Amino acid sequence: MIEESPGSAGGRGGGSGSRRVGRVIGFSCNNGTCTKYFEVTEREKVEQFDIPYSAIAMDIKLSTGKPFVVQGIVDPELVKSYRSLVNNLK
């Protein structure tokens, strides 16, 4: 999850503002069902993930039916490297 400062959203003027990763959440999905298996918010742990700021935004629908936009990574090799880091942090 990206923390955004004032002026850092899509309409930022002149590139002002900053973005940083504030939370990493891992989900495992199988046959349309996703389960959260990892979440970390501690700054020193979050910083161990090399998360590209170009992570794509995806529209998802929560189990309540409410639409929600999340940033995500779908690069299988990067996800694989994250899995070993997650196992070390648990």
Domain ranges of the chain: 2-89
Rounded Cα–Cα distance for residues 84 and 34 (Å) = 20
SS3 state at 83: helix
27-37 tens-digit pLDDT: 888 888 889 98
Cβ contacts of residue 27 below 8 Å, gap of 6+?
34, 35, 36, 37
Mean pLDDT of all residues belonging to the chain:
77
| Confidence class for position 5, pLDDT limits 50, 70, 90 | low
Percent of the chain with pLDDT over 70: 73
CA atoms within 13 A on the CB side of 86: 16
Rounded Cα–Cα distance for residues 15 and 12 (Å) = 6
